[in-house]
Structure 1
Amino acid sequence: FSISYGTGLWPWLVTSSLLGLALSNALWGWTLTADTWQPTFAAFVSLPAAMVLLFGGGWKVTLNGAVLGALLVTPCCLLMVNFVCLPLGLPVVIGNVLGMALGSALAFGLCRCVPVLVKSQVEPIVEKPAARPKPDYGVIWTLRRVLAD
Structure 2
Amino acid sequence: MRNDTLTARNLALTPELHDYLLDQGRMTPDPLLIELIELTHEAIPEQAHMTVAPEEGALLTFLVRLLGARTIVEVGTFTGYSSLCMARGLRAGGSLITCDVSAEYTDVARDFWARAQVDDRIELRLGDALDTLRALPAEPHLDLAFIDADKPGYIGYWEELAPRP
Normalised TM-score (structure 2): 0.25
Larger radius of gyration: 1
Higher relative contact order (Cα pairs below 8 Å, separated by 6+ residues): 1
**Structure having the larger proportion of residues in strand:** 2
- What is the TM-score with the length of structure 1 in the denominator? 0.26
